């Protein structure tokens, strides 16, 4: 059978776009498909000051904001996306048993319970799904005393958790709901200093894999639930930016990943690709969402009309909801192409 020229070219392109070496690292040079996504502003206007986290349970979107520094007393605001209205304010600031010093992460588990991580109080707070809406019966779990450096968390089940941090040079910290560290697992990428290794984290309930996307390195790691490294993704920035030490002794970080989410079939990673010291605030948000299969193969790149600092995905309706730090109406809606 005669092989058509376009089939040969397609195979060559795929090989060039994604190269794999012997240690399981995939070097992604480009994405076969790129899409430009137009933004649509939704949600309340003029309420937010500096939103930085977002997650979603059904029609309710949870946005963490630092507006409390402007005399507001809550960290998290709840928006009904069907009505585009603010419906509640939760997670009050303070040192009381049901108050927060700072919300570092928001996660939704497979039972649709919602969790809030306060790394300053070393506590995980949560509402069960039945309490979402009334927001009564706030519960909490204390972290182990020596769980320093934990940045993001994943809820494996009701009593077992994983955090991205650093204990004994391990990448992942597993702990239970009785303040015990179960184990320290996971290797750091080669050449990455521990002090620079903050990473976004998401746990996939379908594959039971843990995905880390690094803040200042173009690195995504995929671990199994036990902390064994399965694969590493290295995505080349179009600007070829690298973290480097400047002549004045400062470090010019290349800000890479701001957020990572996994679904049953895909990994979505919000990418900035901007140097920290370039003189403006463009590094504070990401303008690209890189999409991979759950196994780590590159799928496509979404270019966003307006940059965002965090996002959530409604795959059923093919919608991404993102938040922009600098808009009066920060909640942004992107419709995904139907063929991807």
Dump pLDDT digits (tens) for 217-230. 889 999 999 999 99
Total count of domains within the chain? 1
Residue 315 sits in a domain whose CATH number is 2.120.10.30
9, part of any domain? no
Which CB contacts under 8 angstroms, 24+ apart, belong to 52-55? 52/309, 52/310, 52/323, 52/325, 53/103, 53/105, 53/106, 53/310, 53/323, 54/106, 54/310, 54/311, 54/312, 54/321, 54/322, 54/323, 55/106, 55/107, 55/108, 55/114, 55/312
Q: Say if 30 falls within a structural domain.
A: yes
Residue 168 lies in a domain: yes
Low-confidence ranges of the chain (pLDDT < 50): 1-16, 22, 69, 238-243, 245-247
For 219-276, how does the pLDDT look when each residue is reduced to its tens digit (9 = 90+)?
Answer: 999 999 999 999 999 887 544 444 454 445 555 567 789 999 999 889 999 998 776 6
> Is residue 255 included in any domain, yes or no?
yes
Q: Which two tokens stand for residue 220?
A: 């995504």
Residue 82 lies in a domain: yes
Euclidean distance between CA atoms 73 and 93, whole angstroms: 5
Distance CA 193, CA 189 (A): 9
The pLDDT score that the predictor gives to residue 9 is 43
Q: Comparing C-alpha atoms, which of 61, 56, 116 is closest to residue 87? A: 61
Query: Is 10 inside any structural domain?
Result: no
d(CA 93, CA 111): 27
For residue 316, the model assigns a pLDDT of 85
The range of the structural domain enclosing residue 79 comes to: 19-335
Residue 8 placed within a domain: no
* 2 belongs to a structural domain: no
Two tokens, residue 268: 């979505």
């Amino acid at each position: 059978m005669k092989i058509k020229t376009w089939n040969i070219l397609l195979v060559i392109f795929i090989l060039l776009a994604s190269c794999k070496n012997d240690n399981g690292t995939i070097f992604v040079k480009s994405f076969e498909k790129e899409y430009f996504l137009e933004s649509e502003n939704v949600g309340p206007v003029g309420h937010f000051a500096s939103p930085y986290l977002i997650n979603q349970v059904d029609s309710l979107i949870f946005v963490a904001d630092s507006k409390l520094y402007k005399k507001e007393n809550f960290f998290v605001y709840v928006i009904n996306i069907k009505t585009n209205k603010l419906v509640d304010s939760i997670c009050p600031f303070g040192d009381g048993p049901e108050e927060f010093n700072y919300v570092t992460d928001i996660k939704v588990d497979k039972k649709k319970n919602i969790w809030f991580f306060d790394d300053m109080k070393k506590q995980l707070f949560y509402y069960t799904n039945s309490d979402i809406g009334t927001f009564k019966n706030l519960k909490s779990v204390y972290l182990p005393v020596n769980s320093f450096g934990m940045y993001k968390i994943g809820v494996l089940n009701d009593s077992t958790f994983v955090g991205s941090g650093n204990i004994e040079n391990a990448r992942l910290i597993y702990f239970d709901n009785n303040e015990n560290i179960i184990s320290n697992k996971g290797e750091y990428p080669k050449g990455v200093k521990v002090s620079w290794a903050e990473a976004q984290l998401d746990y996939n309930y379908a594959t039971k894999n843990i995905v880390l996307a690094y803040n200042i390195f173009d690195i995504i790691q995929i671990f199994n639930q036990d902390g064994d490294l399965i694969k590493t993704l290295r995505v080349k920035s179009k600007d070829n930016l690298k973290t480097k030490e400047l002549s004045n002794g400062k470090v010019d970080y290349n800000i890479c990943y701001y957020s990572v989410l996994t679904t049953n079939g895909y990994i979505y990673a919000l990418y900035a690709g901007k140097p920290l010291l370039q003189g403006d605030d463009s590094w504070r948000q990401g303008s690209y969402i890189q999409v991979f299969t759950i196994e780590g193969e590159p799928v496509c790149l979404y270019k966003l009309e307006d940059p965002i600092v965090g996002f959530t995905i409604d795959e059923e309706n093919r919608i991404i909801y993102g938040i922009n730090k600098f808009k009066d109406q920060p909640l942004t809606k992107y419709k995904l192409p139907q063929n991807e």
